[in-house]
A and B are shown apart, each in its own frame.
Chain A
């Protein structure tokens, strides 16, 4: 049983992402915005398992998170697929300290990418009426999310990366 959990640690942690996404703890938020949780899992997963796996699980994450949000017209899949693919191309850094802070920058970039793609969908959908009204709140949302994701990534990603490498070694 113990061996099973060690081997499947990455998949088990995958199940918790939607739960955290729904939980939405306000005390972590900044300007009412939360960090973009799926990237914390996707970055270490893609770094350990490569671009193709990153792309596939980016798609899976998008599917499951889309089903939890009530917005039918917008999707998170393109952003997460792109992030999964890009993250897979990043090599592990030999210096642990540099690697640690690099996660923050990479996740910030990923969050910016996902936020922008989502915003473009909203803009495209509301092309006729309220484009100019949406601009400022949307930029605020993207920047707050980028900041928070970058802030928490070094703590969470390095732990998850260590966990994934450990479970892979056992296999």
Chain B
């Protein structure tokens, strides 16, 4: 009788520790499935006192000269009219959401920022995020209060862009450092240092004509490809406020 009792008490399910580990595992699986929403929302509350103030936002807004704003408006109207005539893709008149950067990973492999606006504010997966200067990245996932943005410098990012001067389409690939690479699939492509790169009208992920960067250096031609390093106009490691564009492409 005693022997039976000894065997039965040594079963794994009688150990409290195993159930604790199983409980932790279940909890983590829930966290994993929800893409860390619990943690991100918890981080939202912890980091709230340290968010950037409105001061910087006001400076940025004031620095936009009135005259340039009016000119830009006129050019936009003109651009839309011409696009309609040529039956090209239109960047829809989007509503912008202003958001603060509450977490920033701009080094190493993981290049992402977390914003303080989430699905509650209408942010959706695939929305475009721009900062002063130009494109920063795309919203990869959202929680109730926050949204994660994959930066264009991330090794996960691949976007269709074009060189404005020569109007050649290429692929902008993040490499895990501060300057992504532009790949042009023709070794005779005409590209020079200083050329301006913007989102391609042929891209299915981005609206056309969002400024991205400037060609910093042109690398040696590899097989049938030409590659160039791009210096980004928007600096993700400095920007505290961004705009989320709700675009319908």
Residues of A at the B interface (CB closer than 8 Å) are 18-19, 22-24, 26, 29, 31-34, 56, 60, 63-64, 66-74, 115, 118-119, 122, 126, 129-130, 132-134, 137-138, 140-141, 144-145
Given A24-B105, A56-B21, A145-B108, also A18-B39 (CB < 8 A) = yes
Q: A63-B31, A67-B36 are in contact. Are A137 and B46 (CB under 8 A)?
A: no
Q: Could you tell me which residues of chain B, from 153 to 177, have a CB within 8 Å of some CB in chain A? A: 154-156, 171, 173, 175-177
Task: Give min CB distance, A47 to chain B, whole Å.
Answer: 19
Q: Are A137 and B39 in contact (CB under 8 A)?
A: no
Assuming the A-B contacts A67-B39, A71-B156, A140-B177, are A29 and B32 also in contact, with contact meaning beta carbons closer than 8 angstroms in the complex?
no
Asked if B1 is at the interface (CB within 8 A of a chain A CB), the reply is no
Name the B residues within 8 Å of A133 (CB-CB): 173, 175, 181, 227
Contact B156 A70 (CB under 8 A): yes
B175 close to A134 (CB less than 8 A): yes
Main secondary structure of the interface of A (DSSP, over half): helix
Report the interface size for chain B: residues with CB under 8 A from the other chain. 45
Confirm or deny: B149 has a beta carbon within 8 angstroms of a beta carbon on chain A: yes
Q: Report the nearest A residue to B108, measured CB to CB.
A: A33
Binds A, one of B22-30, B59-67, B76-84, B89-97: B22-30
Q: CB of B144 within 8 A of chain A?
A: no
Which residue from B106, B140, B183, B227 sits with its C-beta under 8 Å from A70? B140
Of B21, B34, B237, the residue contacting A32 (CB under 8 A) is B237
Say yes or no: A19 contacts B43, CB within 8 Å.
yes
Interface residues of B in 115-129 (CB under 8 A from A): none
Residue contacts A-B, CB under 8 angstroms, 7 given? A60-B28, A63-B28, A70-B141, A122-B176, A129-B183, A133-B181, A133-B227
Q: In the complex, A130→B36 CA distance in Å?
A: 30
Any chain A CB within 8 A of the CB of B104? yes
CA distance A106 to B43 in the complex (A): 30
Nearest CB to that of A53 among chain B residues? B21
List the 6 closest pairs (A to B, CB-CB), nearest first: A32-B107, A137-B177, A67-B36, A70-B140, A33-B107, A68-B36
Partner of A134, one of B24, B108, B110, B176: B176
Residue pair A69, B112 in contact (C-beta under 8 Å): yes
Contact indicator B112/A70 (Cβ below 8 Å):
yes
Q: Could you list 20 further interchain pairs (A-B, Cβ under 8 angstroms) beyond the known A34-B108, A70-B140, A134-B175?
A: A18-B36, A19-B42, A22-B43, A23-B103, A32-B107, A33-B108, A60-B25, A63-B28, A67-B31, A67-B32, A69-B110, A70-B149, A71-B155, A73-B156, A118-B109, A126-B155, A130-B173, A138-B176, A141-B176, A141-B177
With A60-B28, A130-B181 already in contact, the answer to whether A141 and B109 are too (CB < 8 A) is yes
- B148 interface residue, CB < 8 Å from A? yes
